[in-house]
Amino acid sequence: MASSTQSPAQPAAQKRPPFARLGAFVARYRWPVLIGYLISAVVFGIFGVQVFANLKTEGFADPGGEAARAAAYVQDEFGVNDPVVVLIIQTPTDVDVDAPAATALLDDVAATPGVESVVSYWSTKAPELRSDSGRTAQAVVYAEPDADLEKLSTDIVDTYTGQQGDLTVYAYGGEVIGNAFTQQISGDLARAESVAVPLTVILLIFVLGSVVAAGLPFLVALGTILGSFLVLYVISLFTDVSVFSLNLVTGLGLALGIDYSLLIINRFREELAAGKAVPDAVAATVNSAGKTVFVSGLTVVVALAALLFFPQFFLRSFGYAGMAVSILAVIGALTAIPALLAILGPRINKFKVRRGDLTPKDDGGWARLARFVMRRPWPVMIASIAVLLVLAAPAIGAVFGQVDERALPADSPVAQAGQVLRDEFPGYENSPFEIVLIDAGSAEEVRAYAEQVSQLPEVERVTTPTDVIVDGQVVAPNPDPSTWASGNNVRVAAVGTVPPIDPAGEQLLADIRGIPAPASEALVGGVAADWADATQSILDRFWWVILWLALTTLVILFLYTGSLLIPVKAFVLNLLSLSAALGVLVWVFQDGRLSWLTGDYTVTGTVDMSTLVLVGVIAFALSMDYEVFMLSRITEEHAAGKSTTDAVAFGLQRTGRIITAAALLIAIVFASFLTSGATNIKQLGLGVTVAILLDATIVRALLVPAFMRIAGGANWWAPSWLRKVHQRVGLQDG
């Protein structure tokens, strides 16, 4: 129990800086702290797993947009509900010849508990429900008002799809797609972890040099992941949470657990090598590396908080998840790891796998690289920026899309159903624009408006409460006028000839919205409108996100370093490396390149805009993580009297190996997302992986030393009044 012996410095514990006092407390009460952490992790896991039942697969639309308002009117005012399932039935010969088998099947579907009605080609003879080949037809299944849609859709899919006698049945629809994504993501998480965890274990053993030390990061990661599940579960009781956010919980939980543990273990080894007793070494480690972890975690939290600016709960869910992970990872790194270090002491190096002393060296390859760069700062900076700009160039030609069933593996039954619809029902994607006229004018005015809409070149037909209009002419009466008027409100539907999630569909939406309507307000909804509103909501908030990231970066790094130039440099260089990562993402996924690396997926000629936002914010947060790691040591050495050149060389020597190892380990974690069957998760994995590797190599190893050498003494400049602010509230001083 030598580690519990009170050191001579302890009587002055009250004068210690806050983080040193925390370290001393954890070292003294190491067993209660560790046991409390483990018990908490178990409790988190028991209650947190309930989150899986509450997660949603939607969340890409803007809930406050015009399209969302139109959809609410269509459902609430006009009583038009989306079908719970669309069945696509392929017959062996002809839909009319094989009608008995199809109708018998649909009778069974209609008898399923929770089904209100089934509308099919065989019950209506509606030509739009019959394929051009004559061998395939659709049946639309509607649920009772109080039915459990998820269970009902699952029951129908499990019972009636696949080969049913001579019929081949596919299922499609929002609920079906959502269930498929939920199952896909659950399997993907297990697959990714089965790849990432063994590789990270092996690499951690090599990086940390001992088997015992390599196990510590997983303690933080486990508590962080389980705790984040519980946080998301609580949040899901009050608002919608996306199932996709689970990928960030596992990926970032492992990433930050590794990052923070590497930093603390390395600093603890330094303190032991300096001759400190174990309790004092723990206190000194928490006061230095622990403080760095705290500031790093703070930067990650505020960066990921930028996702809360967006109204889509898909993006907000990643914000909730990322903030929870970051906070819990910091807590674990400041409690569980120091407690274990206090228990293990020098035994942290037990079961060594590397020869020699495991204590970090003061001079070595990283210091030599830094000095090489600082002897040639301008050529290195120009060449590095040129490489990043070349990588960023493809982002200029990005074509944005949105997640649909094509993001699932091509052999998924839902993806196959979507392909059958495309092949057998040309134009099925061209879903109608739902136009809600609030306090509409007379029937004649509504008809005149509909005629004007129908004359747009990309509009196939328009349906009003009374008529079907093509090219400005009434061609037929409305076959079912019961759901087209409610009081003074009127519903009009326009079917286009262009895909909705496409620049042409976006232009058609703008054209329809640009036509004056005979109403106090006209709301245009539909798939194209959902997509356009979601895109616009992201673009509208883009500059607010940039401003938030800039301000928080400047404030936190200034409080940490006392410099004005260093935070500006960090923000600009992070944006540069981030642009390069986004360019690579567009180059790979938009045109379907490097499939040998990414795995097979359906190429749509677009990249998911929401995923690009996620990659940008997550990669920026992790870049700031590394920035703080590096700056902490450089600033510490400069404050101790070293020149800028020596401080940078020493700081890179002490942190370069940590940053590179952490980046490689995190890259493995996020690269494991490439095993996912969901294309947007592949995009997230590749984007973050590329951003991390670029940041740890070109930015940290080349651009930062070059810039700081060029800036010289200006690195540490701040006006006198700001220096006073830093002296009073700065994060660096004890």
Q: In this predicted structure, what is the pLDDT of residue 734?
A: 45
Confidence at 359, pLDDT banded by 50, 70, 90: low
Instruction: Please say whether the beta carbons of 305 and 531 come within 8 A.
Output: no
- The answer, yes or no, to whether residue 28 has pLDDT greater than 80, is yes
Query: How confident is the model over 209-229, as pLDDT tens digits?
Result: 889 999 999 999 999 999 999
Contacts of 511 (CB under 8 A, 6+ apart): 456, 458
- The answer, yes or no, to whether residue 591 has pLDDT greater than 90, is no
Query: How confident is the model over 533-552, as pLDDT tens digits?
Result: 999 999 999 999 999 999 99
Residue 490: beta bridge partners? Answer: 437, 485
CA of 110: how far to CAs of 80, 116, 120, 408, 568, in Å? 19, 7, 11, 29, 64
Find the mean pLDDT for residues 234-240: 95
Find the mean pLDDT for residues 503-526: 92
The one-character DSSP state at 465 is S
d(CA 159, CA 98): 20
Q: Angle formed by the axes of helices 66-76 and 527-561, to 10°?
A: 130
**3-state SS class at 249:** helix
Query: How confident is the model over 547-570, as pLDDT tens digits?
Result: 999 999 899 989 888 888 989 999
Examine domains 83-172 and 432-525 and report if their fold is the same.
yes
Find the mean pLDDT for residues 302-314: 95
Confidence at 361, pLDDT banded by 50, 70, 90: low
* Both tokens assigned to 356: 């020699």
Can you spell out the DSSP letters for 326-339? HHHHHHHHHHHHHH
Residue 162: beta bridge partners? Answer: 169
Query: How confident is the model over 292-301, as pLDDT tens digits?
Result: 999 999 999 9
Q: In this predicted structure, what is the pLDDT of residue 644?
A: 82
d(CA 667, CA 670): 5
- The answer, yes or no, to whether residue 654 has pLDDT greater than 90, is no
Q: In this predicted structure, what is the pLDDT of residue 462?
A: 92
Confidence at 614, pLDDT banded by 50, 70, 90: very high
- CATH for 2-55+180-403+534-729 (1.20.1290.10, 3.30.428.10, 1.20.1640.10, 3.30.2130.10): 1.20.1640.10
Delimit the domains of the chain by residue range: 2-55+180-403+534-729, 83-172, 432-525
- The answer, yes or no, to whether residue 5 has pLDDT greater than 70, is no
pTM score: 0.87
**3-state SS class at 485:** strand
83-172 homologous superfamily: Multidrug efflux transporter AcrB pore domain like (3.30.70.1320)
* Both tokens assigned to 555: 């404030």
Mean pLDDT across the chain: 88
Q: In this predicted structure, what is the pLDDT of residue 595?
A: 87
Q: In this predicted structure, what is the pLDDT of residue 362?
A: 59
Query: How confident is the model over 478-497, as pLDDT tens digits?
Result: 888 888 999 899 999 998 88
Query: How confident is the model over 172-214, as pLDDT tens digits?
Result: 988 898 888 888 888 888 888 888 889 888 888 888 888 999 9
Instruction: Please say whether the beta carbons of 35 and 340 come within 8 A.
Output: no
Neighbouring C-beta atoms of residue 453, cutoff 10 Å: 23
- The answer, yes or no, to whether residue 9 has pLDDT greater than 80, is no
Q: In this predicted structure, what is the pLDDT of residue 79?
A: 85
Determine the CATH number of domain 432-525.
3.30.70
Find the mean pLDDT for residues 639-649: 83
In this structure, of 256-265, 656-665, 687-696, the range with the lowest mean pLDDT score is: 656-665
Query: How confident is the model over 453-476, as pLDDT tens digits?
Result: 999 999 988 999 999 999 999 998
The percent of residues above 70 in pLDDT, for the chain, comes to: 96
* Residue 237, phi then psi, degrees to nearest 5: -75, -15
Instruction: Please say whether the beta carbons of 726 and 558 come within 8 A.
Output: yes
Q: In this predicted structure, what is the pLDDT of residue 223?
A: 95
Q: In this predicted structure, what is the pLDDT of residue 118?
A: 92
- The answer, yes or no, to whether residue 266 has pLDDT greater than 70, is yes
User: Which of 244, 258, 261, 243 lies closest to 196 in space, CA to CA?
Assistant: 258
* Residue 25, phi then psi, degrees to nearest 5: -65, -45
Strands, E assignment, 50-108: 85-90
- The answer, yes or no, to whether residue 615 has pLDDT greater than 60, is yes
Confidence at 340, pLDDT banded by 50, 70, 90: very high
Can you spell out the DSSP letters for 299-360? HHHHHHGGGGGSS-HHHHHHHHHHHHHHHHHHHHHHHHHHHHHHHHGGGGG-SB-SSS--SP
Q: How many CA atoms lie within 13 A of 716 on its CB side?
A: 17
Q: In this predicted structure, what is the pLDDT of residue 363?
A: 60
- The answer, yes or no, to whether residue 501 has pLDDT greater than 70, is yes
Confidence at 12, pLDDT banded by 50, 70, 90: very low
- Beta-strand relationship, 607-608 and 400-401: parallel
Q: In this predicted structure, what is the pLDDT of residue 358?
A: 58
**3-state SS class at 118:** strand
d(CA 704, CA 624): 13
The percent of residues above 90 in pLDDT, for the chain, comes to: 52
- The answer, yes or no, to whether residue 3 has pLDDT greater than 70, is no
Confidence at 430, pLDDT banded by 50, 70, 90: low
- The answer, yes or no, to whether residue 360 has pLDDT greater than 70, is no
